[in-house]
Amino acid sequence: MVREFTINERLDMITGSIYRTKPDIIAFSAYIWNKNEVFEIADRLKQIKPDLIIIMGGPEVSFESLKIMKNNNFIDFIIKGEGEKTLKELLHSFYLSETLNDKEFYNKLAKIKGIVYRAEEKKICENKERPLISNLDKLPFPYTDENIKKLKNKIIYYETSRGCPFNCSYCLSSISRGVRYFSMERVKKDLLFFIRNDIKLIKFVDRTFNSNRKRTMEIFKFLVENRKETRFHFEITANLLDDEMIKYLMTVPEGLFQFEIGIQSSNLETLRLVNRRMDFKKVSKYIKSLREANNIHLHLDLIAGLPGEDYNSFEKSFNDVFELTPHDLQLGFLKLLKGTAIRSDGPLHEYKYSKTTPYEVLQNKYMSYKEILELKGIEDILKKYFNSNRFEKSLEYTIKNHYPESAFAFFQELSHHFINNGLDRRAQSQSTLYNILYDFYSKKIGEKEKIFAEYLKFDLFLNNRGVRLPDWFNMIKIPHLKEMRYNFLSNEENIKKLLPGYINMSVKEILKRVSFEVFSINVLMAEKDSKNGDSKRPFIYLLDHTQKKAFDITDYFN
């Protein structure tokens, strides 16, 4: 039996749910994001039912296993590394044994590679390492026609390979060299199963999905040729892209693919210190090409706290990546994971980090704790404003016109505005975030507030319906707009051209999904081209809230 829970569920509810299944053996997977929770649940269950067998696996127990067993007496077995074969052999030994504490049973355990366990007289034993699985196709496919139906609206994680061709010192994948692949026949069969069952999103967990160009292209083309409703998310390395692949990717259907690309830093010395090879000029060229095509969602990553990168260097890395105009920019913080080279080299770079999960950097000899806190504030603002994709026009206007040299400086100053006004200590509603941004702009910048307000108004209207209009809002009224919008939506050609997804809908139904809004400037055009602020006529936009698209229909009403 497989039971799945989320870290947002109460531990007592999870514990009770597991207890009611009356288990004899429970196996947990421990990661940096759930270790504390699964340890607590396992401890509770062991106290309630002392004869329960607790097995732990996953990266959080695969290192320092003897120490973990010694300090956590509720754990009976630890499976180190890849666990599929090991768990099967361990469970088989339970099944074949009449008792689980005699000499014959312990002799069987001694032959199982990759486990740590409590033997006679509670002695902790660690067996030899288990070799990596060479033929991944032998691993069974975990989904059936029955259980897949429960996952239709869920995210499914899927791997076509294990390992990574690179040796980045902060990554667990660097511990084992080389890449192992599932056969193309197996991969295509599995993917067709997901596509046929209309899974919403498949996230490939391959550490570097495009490690083999030929194989990558074959899978990309296969997904395009067999597409239905499923979307696909990949972690790729931009340094391995080439002109042929970029040319093809620019033609794939919009929204089908999502790319997560780890840049981490543009500082060459920092990249050298973490054994990461990257030609940033080449990477920038390919990312810009993909961004111009705008058919693939681009998520770029930065890591703060890497060796050799001080605060000023990180600001440059941030600005270098921001200029690539990603859809999302994640500002993450270095985690000194167990088993990684960077954790072993910690003293060399004077690392201070949390000793409990997720082992996140506190400071090093390049960046102080105070500076890390500054970046934490910027990370929060980045999530609230940039990565929410709800402030696209207002941020673009502000940064281009008032922070052209450093987008980082904008997010830093907005972070200070939050902290100085105590806004960082409480949750903010989406509508409140618009008001805060206007307040920041008027107090910190104070130029062309009316123009900025129009961009902010556009973002507010496009991404929200039925919100209370704020004090800074500029309402522009046009006579007979209600009648004009009805006539516009009654025209079949207008619907075919702008809203093809709403063909055969009544005007009443369409109006539940769109709105008509009036602005004093042309917010869809760059300020230098639109003569914003000088126009004598209002601009009318049709906003499709479902697709988050806007259409200038001003000429239709003139």
Task: Please determine, for residue 533, whether its predicted confidence score (pLDDT) is greater than 60.
Answer: no
Distance CA 85, CA 444 (A): 61
Task: Please determine, for residue 535, whether its predicted confidence score (pLDDT) is greater than 60.
Answer: no
Superfamily of domain 136-367: tm_1862 like domain (3.80.30.20)
Report the mean per-residue pLDDT for the chain: 93
Per-residue pLDDT, averaged over 492-510, amounts to 93
Is residue 257 within 8 A of residue 248, CB to CB? The reply is no
**CB-CB neighbours of 387 under 10 Å:** 17
Domains of the chain by residue range:
11-126, 136-367, 382-470, 476-557
> How confident is the model at residue 122, as a pLDDT?
83
Q: pLDDT band for position 342 (50/70/90)?
A: very high
The pairing of beta strand 352-353 with beta strand 361-363: antiparallel
- To the nearest 10°, the Cα dihedral for 87, 89, 91, 93? -150
Check residues 556 and 141 and name the one with the higher pLDDT.
Answer: 141
Q: What is the pLDDT of residues 15-30, one digit of tens each?
A: 999 999 999 999 999 9
11-126 and 136-367 in the same fold: no
11-126: what fold?
Rossmann fold (3.40.50)
Check residues 259 and 469 and name the one with the higher pLDDT.
Answer: 259
pTM for the full model? 0.91
Check residues 537 and 63 and name the one with the higher pLDDT.
Answer: 63
Determine which of 217-221, 349-353, 465-469 has the lowest per-residue pLDDT on average.
465-469
Q: What share of the chain is helix, strand, coil (3-state, %, to 5)?
A: 45, 15, 40
Per-residue pLDDT, averaged over 437-460, amounts to 95
Distance CA 26, CA 76 (A): 10
Q: What is the pLDDT of residues 276-331, one digit of tens each?
A: 989 999 999 999 999 999 999 999 999 999 999 999 999 999 999 999 999 999 99
> How confident is the model at residue 288, as a pLDDT?
96
Distance CA 273, CA 75 (A): 38
For residue 164, give the DSSP letter.
Answer: E
> How confident is the model at residue 314, as a pLDDT?
98
What letter represents residue 128's amino acid?
K
Per-residue pLDDT, averaged over 534-541, amounts to 77
Task: Please determine, for residue 437, whether its predicted confidence score (pLDDT) is greater than 80.
Answer: yes
Distance CA 430, CA 469 (A): 13
Name the β-bridge partners of 53.
Answer: 25
Determine which of 91-105, 113-127, 354-368 has the lowest per-residue pLDDT on average.
91-105
Handedness of CA 319, 324, 327, 332 (dihedral sign): negative
What letter represents residue 242's amino acid?
D
What letter represents residue 276's amino acid?
R
Can you list the positions of beta strands (E) in 257-371? 257-264, 297-304, 328-333, 352-353, 361-363
What letter represents residue 506's amino acid?
S
Q: pLDDT band for position 169 (50/70/90)?
A: very high
What number of CA atoms fall less than 13 Å from residue 465's CA on the CB side?
A: 11
> How confident is the model at residue 536, as a pLDDT?
67
Q: pLDDT band for position 526 (50/70/90)?
A: low
Name the β-bridge partners of 542.
Answer: 516, 551
Surface-to-core class of residue 385, CB atoms within 10 Å of its CB (0-12 exposed, 13-18 middle, 19+ buried)? buried
> How confident is the model at residue 528, as a pLDDT?
47
Surface-to-core class of residue 79, CB atoms within 10 Å of its CB (0-12 exposed, 13-18 middle, 19+ buried)? buried
> How confident is the model at residue 529, as a pLDDT?
43
Q: Any idea what the Cα angle at residue 173 is, between residues 169 and 177, rounded to 5°?
A: 95
> How confident is the model at residue 487, as a pLDDT?
93
Smallest CA-to-CA distance from 12 within 22, 1, 20 is with 20
Enumerate residues 6+ apart whose C-beta is below 8 A from 123: none
pLDDT cut 70: percent of the chain above it: 98
